[in-house]
Every structure is written in C-alpha cells, then in structure tokens.
Amino acid sequence: MKARLSLHRKAEEELYKLGQKVKGQFYDFSHYFRDNPDHPGLDLKPLKGDSRLFRAKISPDFRALLAPIGVGDDGIPRWLVLAVRDRKDVYEHLQVAVNRVTGAIEFVDLSVVGDSALRRAGIALPTMPDAGKPTPATTTKKPALTAQPLLAGYSSELLLELGVAQPLIPVALAVTTEAELDSLLQDAPLLSKDILYALAAQMSLDEIREQIVAPVKVDEKPDLDDFAAAVERTPVTALDDEVRAVLEEGDFRAWKVFLHPAQARIAHMNYRGPARVSGGPGTGKTIVALHRVKHLVEQLPDGTDKPILLTTYTANLATDLRLRLASLLKPEQIARVDVTHIDQLAARVLGENTSPQHRKQRTTDQVALTELRQLLAELGETTWEAQFLFDEWEQVILGQAVTTRADYFRVRRAGRGRAVTRTERARIWSLLEQLTARLDKRGLETWGQAAERAARYETDRARRIEALDSDDSTGRRNLTYRYRHVVVDEAQDLRAAHWKMLRAMANPASPNDLFIAGDTHQRIYDHQVTLGPLGINIRGRSSRLTLSYRTTGQILDWALGILDTTHVPYDDLDDGTDALTGYRSVLRGPKPVQDGDVYPTFDAELAGLTTRLKAWRAALSVSKDGTPTDPTGRIAVCVADRDLVIRTIDHLTTAGLTCAELTKDGPHRTGEIHVGTMHRFKGLEYQNLAIIAASDGIIPRAAIHRYETDDPARYINELRKARSLLFVAATRARDTLAVTWHGTRSPLVPVRRDGRA
C-alpha cells in the first residue's frame, strides 16, 4: 500500500446520492489509488484554484477531489477525499481551509451559489465550455444593491471571528432573500450554516457564541496551515469494505446517527452524577444518547458482560434504538449493551423475584378500568367516576410508588386538578384497595403495578449491596449493581416507579451513572415526575439543545403553532419549567401542505391520500442520477387511533400500495408505506409524512369536552396531551409534511397567517 484514503463527511453525502454503478467505480478507484496514487490512469493533478487540492479520475464521467493530509506513523502518505463530482462541475471554485474556530478541515464550492447573489458580492464565476478547462473566479465591481441585505448590520470581521468560512462571507453579506441564503448554505460547512441561519433568525450574538460557537471551539488557536493536525479534529471515515456496505444503504441511515460537533461535547463529557439533555424534536437527543452509549462502551474495562443499559418507554422505540446502535458499534461492543424497553426490564426483575406459582399476568389498563366500573356498580358508588379513580391510582398512587394509606394522605397530587379532602382520600384508598384485591384474585396486574413492584424489589437489592459495601468482613461479594451505566431515551414518559427501579440499578456513588434524554413538550402520557425526590439529582448537569437537524424550519414553525406554551407551562423533570426558547431549524424545505375543506368524508380523504403517496413514492424511487432506489420506510401515514389505521391500510392496499403497520415491536411485515397511530411514531423519523383525519372530535377526542366545566384542570391537562401528541406526530417529518382532515378541522391544527387552516 502506497497511500491511505479517508472520506470527508461531505464526500460521503455525495456518494450516498449516486447510483450503485458509480459507487462501485469509486471503490475500484480507491483500491487503485491506495496501491499507486501515481498510476497514469488516475490522472492525479493539482487544481488551479487551490494548489492544496487535487483531482483524480474515478471514471470517464466522475472525479474525486482530494487533499494530502500528511504522513502516518507507518510512513504511508494520507489523503482525504473531499468531494465526488461529475467531471463537468467547476472544480476550480472548491476552496479548502482549516476553520479558525473548530480547527477542522472544511471546504466551500461557490459554484452552487445563485448568480444574482454572486454578482452582488462582486464575484463572477467563469462559464464552462464542454471541452474547455475552467478558470479561477474573478472579482468584479459590485453593482448597486436593489434590496436590503438579509444580514445587514453584520461585518465580515464579525462573521470571520464567529467561524464562518471566509469564501462565503462576501456572498453571505450580499444575499437579500431566504432563497438566496438557502442556495448559499446548501453545501456549506456545518458551522457556517448554523451561524448564518441563526443570524438570519435574529438570534443574539451572545446566544450564538454560547450555543453554537462555544461547544465546538478548540482550546488552543489552531495552525491554519497544518492539515495533518486539522484532520484529527475532522470527522472522517477510513475507506474499507465495511464502509462500502454502509454507503450502499443510502444517506437516510447515516443521517439518523449523525452527531453534530455541538452534541458531541454532551455525549463525551465526564459527569460526576446523573446528567440530562433536553431539547425540541429533531435536536438530536436520541443521537446524543446513542453516541453516549458508544462513548461509554469504548471506556469499559474488559470482562464485564452487558454493563450498559439503554432503555426507553416502548418496545418499538427500543427496536429502533437497537437498529441505530448497529450503525455505530461493532458486534462485540453491542454485546456489552442491554437494549430493552422499560416495562420489559421491570418484567425481568419480577421474573427473578417471583416463584412461578405466584407470578401474575400483566393486563391492559382497559381491563382494569372495566373491573373498577363493575366494582363501583356493585357497591352503588356514585360519588366517584371510574376514570377519575383509575387516573388517581395510576398517576398518584402507582405513579409515585405510594404503598400505604398514610403516605397517600401526604402525597402531592400535582396536575390532578380536583382537590380531595382527607376523608375523600380515605374513601378513594379503600375503593382502590378493593380493586387491587379483585385483580389479585384473578392473577392479574397492570403494567403500572408491575413497575411499582419491580421498583421495590430493585430498591431492596440496592440496600443489600450498600450493606455489603459497608461491611469489610464479608469478603468477596457476589451481589453487585446490575449496570455500570444507564442511558434513558424519551425520559419524559417514564413513571416514578420506573425511575426508582433505574436509580437502584446503578451505583449512585459512581460517575456517569445515569444519562437522561427527554423533552416534556413531547409527553403523551400522564406520568409527571420530579426526579430529585427519587434520588436523581440533575442540578448543574443539564444541557439543552436548540438546533433541529431533522425537521425543516417550515415544518418546525407550523408545529410550534400547535403548542400553547403561553398559557400552559411544561416542567423540566426537576420542579422547574422547560421552554423551547431559541428552538429553530438549520434546514429549509417546502411549507407543510394543509387541506381538508375538500374532503367531506374519510373515504374522500383517503382517495386524496392515495394520490399523494403515489407521487411521493415515485419521487423517492429514483436517485438524482436516475438510478432506481427503494422508498421503503421513508414514507409514513399517521392517524389518531387504530381503527383508522386499519381502514387506511385496507384502502391503500386496495389501491396498489404496500403497507406495514407500526406496532409496539416496530413495523409489522414489509411494506413501502408505514402506517400507525400517533403514539407509535414517538422517536421515529420519516422523509415524507402524512397526518390524516386531523378532524375535530378525533384529535382531541370528543370525550374530553365533558371536563371543560366539571373539571377544568383535567380538561387543560387532556388538551395539553392532545397538543403534545399532534406536535410529536408533525415533527416526525424530515422533508415533507401534509396534514388533512375531513369534516371540521381540529382546533389544534394551526391557522396560517392568511387566516386559512
């Protein structure tokens, strides 16, 4: 081997979008280049625009753009592939440099910028004759501006100091429309994109320096001429056979595990106790959690079996986490991580601590609620509604792991709305004791009961471990904490009992014991928890992400209109309030499509959906170079309840579209279009998403309106859950969102500025 090759992230992105034929040619090129970069067939030559850049021939139609990045410890020269382009592209305008803030290698290609913006910046790009060679860009006299620049008031010195790539600055200060800014930043370095979009969104300089620049700034001033040092700070991928398999799966997989440099600081930090990361949808909380697991695995000593727990609220989310983790870890590393959803973990604890003859069957809340209604009817009890009592049991008694009547008299009932006296609490406790006795007689328990029992077993286990630790005379101990590290995703939906169980599973005296990712704006269940009283202190170890890397600005703006943050506060899991202040997107795309007035019935709405899905499928079935691609798993349909899921799948299947229903275990069967309830979309992402049946009476459900006068606090809580559910659904879309309804539009669907839905 005479050379080593690595891929810059931008080159990876370009390869993802090319067809299999070109990818195969690129890997053949890589083999030949590593064997002999001076082979005449590769035609390796420096570029005229930047002598540090070289081009090499991949095929008659494609070229690789490379930069030498020094010599490795083994004495073999190293090269970095920066771009893979059609030979007709204007290569001479690609400029490479070391960023003065991050110290990483970045490059800019001004040929992608619109002509009007370039002219206003005084930059003229040469034309490219079919057989001719390009010449470097030239500077012309700047024409008079006809409109106010979008970034008027900012200087080139300021942009340079913040870390914007120098070649972009004159154009950035000349653009007058968002469309021109989008064009400029389409292939811009990530830091430049973050900063310029933040300035355009009128984010303050202090916020930009704190939230965007500081997390990625290197401690020492980088040497702007030292490419060898810069590549150590640059995310690159060594070219080998494993990388080939990943590239051939397409960019969507890689995008789902991409870690932004600002997120890397959180994922890789050493914490002296429990830590939490929050942020709106698409800010990368799950990505941070996955990379946190990767970081912790890499620090593990040898010989420990499954010492890391990665858990979340539902089975389908755990399935998705397991698949994503496979993109980050080697098989032997994955073997050291226990990926399971929280109720499965509780069931495992119960199985270890209960003899077969005393084990209970877990049942649904609906079965328990029916049992409660029957109990009240038999007792002639009319003071309390069954639903109110069941929610009191779930949210207060089981939710806070209350085990005695005396504790119930003292417990907080935050968010329950209706106040109850001590006498009323005594009656409630008596009724719920009778309910649990009836369930126990049938050998049944709810998942809430199971979580509470598992928490007690695990807490007792932790006490025994602490007792052994304090007794030096016990000799060798066989009892240890289950996990060295616990990482939790979608933390806002866990019960208090779940947290008690998790707290007992890792040593509270060890660093990096708990890492928590969640957003209470996305809480779609009634589990409101304060972590401090449960022994989980996150004060001083909380981080908030504000930049969305999944959802476009257009979709995000629409989705934020669903929430009512002005009148309804959201907690921060620690007796404070959380907000989406500064939450914004770095991505641009089409505005969400909203139509429903044309659909008088659900059948008519399904007919319109079919037409839309077929158009989406056709668009995603062909890559930019015309190569066929598989759209499976990139398109989804979201509805409020399962009856609508079944009707939707039946209609689409009859119309010739293949569907897979989203279940608790992930997609059931194979199908191009994923269809599921809003609850099943938690934690998932799709390029194109349709939310259908967004009608009044469906979301929110009509039944909640009876609480509007009888129990206003509960009504507000139910309405907040419905808003969060629709908010979660809308922010699952990456590129395209369509929202439709039949009959009357849901009052939760935002109204556009022109007054239309």
**CATH at residue 98:** 3.30.2310.20
Domain identity same for 605 and 552: no
The pLDDT score that the predictor gives to residue 428 is 94
pLDDT above 90 (res 524):
no
Q: Select from 442, 461, 479 the last residue of a domain.
A: 442
Greater confidence (515 vs 529) lies with 515
Q: Is the pLDDT of residue 471 over 50?
A: yes
We report the CATH number of the domain holding residue 463 as 3.40.50.300
* Whether 460 and 312 share a structural domain: yes
pLDDT at 32: 87
The verdict on 400 and 484 lying in the same domain is no
Exposure b/e, 297-324, CB count within 10 A at least 16 = b: beeeeeeeeebbbbbbbbbbbbbbbeeb
Q: Is the pLDDT of residue 138 over 50?
A: no
pLDDT score at 609 = 96
- Spell out the residues 6+ positions from residue 724 whose beta carbon is closer than 8 angstroms to its own: 521, 522, 523, 524, 563
Across the range 89-106, mean pLDDT stands at 80
Residue-level pLDDT at 575:
64
Given a contact cutoff of 8 angstroms between Cβ atoms, the answer to whether 694 and 749 are in contact is: yes
- Any domain includes 757: no
220 and 108 housed in the same domain = yes
pLDDT in tens, 208-220: 888 788 888 988 8
Task: Categorize the per-residue pLDDT at 83 as very low, low, confident or very high, splitting at 50, 70 and 90.
Answer: confident
**134 pLDDT higher than 50:** no
Burial of 477 by CB count in 10 Å (0-12 exposed, 13-18 middle, 19+ buried)?
Answer: exposed
Q: Tell me, what's the pLDDT at 317? A: 84
For 167-206, the pLDDT digits (tens) are 889 889 988 887 788 778 877 888 898 899 888 877 889 8
The pLDDT-based confidence of 135 (bands split at 50, 70, 90) is very low
More confident residue, 19 or 614: 614
The strand order across the sheet containing 514-517 reads 337-341, 308-312, 485-488, 514-517, 275-279, 542-545
pLDDT at residue number 739: 96
Claim to verify: residue 188 and residue 67 sit in the same structural domain: yes
> pLDDT tier at 666 (50, 70, 90 boundaries)?
confident
Residue at 597 is within a domain: yes
pLDDT score for 177: 82
Mean pLDDT of all residues belonging to the chain: 83
| Tokens at 596, concatenated | 């429903």
pLDDT exceeds 60 at position 404 = yes
Tell me how far apart the terminal alpha carbons of the chain are, to the nearest angstrom. Answer: 63
Do the domain assignments include residue 596?
Answer: yes
573 and 595 inside one domain:
no
The confidence score (pLDDT) of residue 1 equals 76
Stretch among 238-252, 356-370, 526-540, 571-585 having the lowest mean pLDDT: 238-252
pLDDT of residue 122: 58
**534 and 598 share one domain:** no
Does some domain include residue 749? Answer: no
pLDDT reported for residue 468: 80
Average pLDDT over residues 243-259: 53
Q: Answer for the pair 138, 93: CB distance below 8 angstroms, yes or no.
A: no
SS3 state at 251: helix
pTM above 0.75, yes or no: no
Q: Do the bridges between strand 584-585 and strand 542-545 make them parallel or antiparallel, or are there none, so unpaired?
A: unpaired
Alpha-carbon distances of 718 from 145, 521, 574, rounded to whole Å: 53, 13, 22
Compute φ and ψ for 626, nearest 5 degrees: 90, 0
> Is the model's pLDDT at 530 over the cut of 70?
yes
pLDDT digits 0-9 by tens, 745-754: 999 998 754 4
Buried b (16+ CB within 10 A) or exposed e, 656-675: ebebbbbbeebbbeebbbbb
Q: Please give the average per-residue pLDDT across 83-104, as a whole number.
A: 80
Phi/psi region, residue 709 (left: phi>0; alpha: psi -120 to 50; beta: rest), is alpha
Q: State residue 128's pLDDT score.
A: 36
User: What pLDDT is stored for residue 371 in this prediction?
Assistant: 93
Please tell me whether residue 229 adopts helix, strand or coil conformation: helix
Most confident of 89-103, 648-662, 700-714: 648-662
- Whether the pLDDT of residue 61 is over 70: the answer is yes
Q: What's the pLDDT at 656?
A: 94
203 and 149 together in one domain: yes
Rounded to whole angstroms, the Cα distance separating 100 from 466 reads 50
Q: For the chain, how many structural domains are there in total? A: 4
User: Is residue 497 domain-shared with residue 572, that is, in the same domain?
Assistant: yes
Which of 565, 584, 603 is the last residue before a domain boundary?
A: 584
Quickly list DSSP for 316-329: HHHHHHHHHHHTTS
Q: Mean pLDDT throughout 410-436?
A: 86
| pLDDT at residue 154, rounded to an integer | 93
Final residue in a domain of this structure, among 384, 410, 442 = 442
Q: Above pLDDT 70, what percent of the chain?
A: 86
Q: Are residues 574 and 550 in the same domain?
A: yes
Position 748 in a domain: no
- Give domain status of residue 205, yes or no: yes
Report the pLDDT value the prediction gives residue 387, as an integer from 0 to 100: 85
Peptide bond into 167 cis (omega under 30): no
The arithmetic mean of pLDDT across residues 415-429, rounded, is: 85
CB 503 within 8 Å of CB 497: no
Residue 187 lies in a domain: yes
Measured distance CA(229)–CA(104) in Å, rounded: 8
Q: H/E/C letters for each residue in 45-103?
A: EECCCCCCCEEEECCCCEEEEEEEEEECCCCCEEEEEEEEEECCCCHHHEEEEECCCCC
Looking at residue 604, what is its pLDDT? 95
- Asked if residue 595 and residue 539 are part of one domain, the reply reads no
Q: Report, as an integer, the average pLDDT of 716-745.
A: 91
- DSSP per-residue string spanning 520-532: GGG--SS----SG
The domain of 660 spans 590-740
Of 67-71, 450-454, 748-752, least confident by mean pLDDT is 748-752
Q: Is residue 310 part of a domain?
A: yes
The per-residue pLDDT for 232 is 81
**pLDDT higher for 89 or 461?**
461
Model confidence over 272-320: pLDDT tens digits?
999 999 888 888 899 899 999 999 999 998 776 779 999 998 887 888 8
367 and 313 in a single domain? The answer is: no
92 confidence band (pLDDT: 50, 70, 90): low
Are 629 and 622 within 8 A, CB to CB? Answer: yes
Q: How far is CA 398 from the centre of its chain?
A: 30
State residue 114's pLDDT score.
Answer: 52
